[in-house]
Chains A and B, each alone.
Chain A
């Protein structure tokens, strides 16, 4: 198996307080990895390091080594646009722009200066199909994307992220703002796609993690406690702390 993203000794400080105390974690290509752990342990912070979304927050200091396909992504020469085309992101709250469904999904393509209308249309349709939202949107591609249900909006956002054909998609609690039916739909979508893309997902829902992920990493207070194949970890965790967390003894 190939490692698509590797991280070594990643430390991150917000001002003076250190939120990540040296994380070493590698991600397999075409696998779904979930990051779990109690609130405030640094899951989102770590996730945002992987496509440099922390760059926009003032006073952040990051050290360590993060590589995407063997290339350091924290050099001065790294092109953020190119990086984020390869490593897309989906947020906790569905964030469709108040434009039409079509314009939402085409957003990244147009950013990349793709002018070919036929190609854009083809990609939009393909992405909507991949995100399992095509049937609900095919007749209303011109409708404002905010006039859909939360689950539909989130799948439109997944389609939007997929449209630029990223290799990795980061998802920060993509279903936690959704009702059970909508989140089941999103889960289903991820299961169908996980052989084509590399997903790295933060979740608080342990059942969800066990249902859909191949790999799991358990964070606690800014440290990586344990990582490995999901099945193994859930059945027989190596560390006592992991065991306690999985059994709901804290967090």
Chain B
């Protein structure tokens, strides 16, 4: 092998190492003295860093998986004990309105909480969505940059307010007004819905803004070139294209409403009574949990029954997640 050939080979090998490509070189073809063969077999500094980085992130992932696993396991074991150890009938749990777990396994019916939770969630999302879409449209389509970023910061502020503050405002402002108008105590689904409306509005709005901004510009151009007015373009193209992502935004809002405890507990009344109208006291899954968990002893039926409510919440949040994914997949088609 001539000196020039060896030089070339050296270059090829070094280049390959630099670009981290795998090359098949017959080592015996290269003069031992000409090329630093160790360079190929000895792990480089970058490789070491790679091992470390990967190791650390695997460790972190492992910890999180362990954490999530034990949360689900713990809630699952206690929540299912109601059915397996205390022999409460699952159907009865889901369909009976008789909630008095201290009186024995025949009085564990969660229907009131289930219905109330769903009602406040659906109603608040239903009312919040048109507002959120309107605000988001204003921000993305009509407002100047300044106005849009001003609104954006207001929304962020609303997200940041702790839920106890919303609950307190609801208690001092909303409940008395409802009492004055409809009579009764003022506590109930209507009050809960109004508080949750304010709480989910910023969530749905900011996600809807993202959804509208994600609509490619060339759709708007094509629509305008076909003679559409700005409003026609919004109604017939932008909203239509963004619909799957807007639905996702609504579901995120619903998930937040469904899981909200403190603010709801302060205005819902916390009586386990079937809500035959919107202005009598009732109780949600979360409010029942927060108000009762301190009054029970670990391991008793009353305690396990509360864990069953927690399990139901967990299952519901899983359901919301799956729904979001399904819509995302359909939208991608």
A residues near B (Cβ < 8 Å) are 51, 53, 56, 80-85, 88-89, 91, 93, 95, 97-99, 107-108, 110-112, 144, 157, 160-161, 164
Which residues of A are found within 8 Å of B84, using beta-carbon distances? none
Q: Is residue B58 within 8 Å, beta carbon to beta carbon, of the partner chain?
A: no
Residues from chain B with a CB closer than 8 A to the CB of A85 are 227
State whether A80 touches B221 (Cβ < 8 A): no
**If A97-B241, A144-B333 touch, does A108 touch B226 (CB 8 Å cutoff)?**
yes
Pick the interface stretch among B147-155, B194-202, B229-237. Answer: B229-237
Contact check, B237 vs A81: say whether CB atoms are below 8 A apart: no
Q: How far is the CB of B69 from chain A (nearest CB, A)?
A: 39
> Which secondary structure dominates where chain B touches chain A?
helix
Selected contact of B241 from candidates A81, A91, A98, CB within 8 Å: A98
Docked-complex contact A88 and B218, CB < 8 angstroms: no
Query: Which residue of B218, B221, B222, B227 contacts A112 across the interface (Cβ within 8 Å)?
Result: B227
A80/B241 contact (C-beta < 8 A), A91-B222, A95-B221 known: no
By a CB distance below 8 angstroms, the chain B residues around A110 are: 236
Whether A97 contacts B227 in the complex (CB less than 8 A), given A91-B222, A157-B222, comes out as no
Q: How far is the CA of A80 from the CA of B222 in the complex (A)?
A: 14
Partner of B232 from A95, A97, A111, A164 at Cβ < 8 Å: A111
Is A53 a contact of B225 with CB atoms below 8 Å?
yes
Q: Is the CB of B224 within 8 A of A97?
A: no
Q: Within the complex, which residue of A84, A93, A112 is in contact with B224, where a contact is CB–CB below 8 Å? A: A84
Q: Does B319 contact A (CB under 8 A)?
A: no
B225 touches A88 (CB 8 A): yes
Distance in angstroms between the alpha carbons of A161 and B236 in the assembled complex: 17
B247 to chain A, nearest CB (A): 15
Q: Give the CA-CA distance A161 to B226 in the complex, in Å.
A: 7
Given contacts A84-B227, A144-B333, contact A97 B222 (CB under 8 A): yes
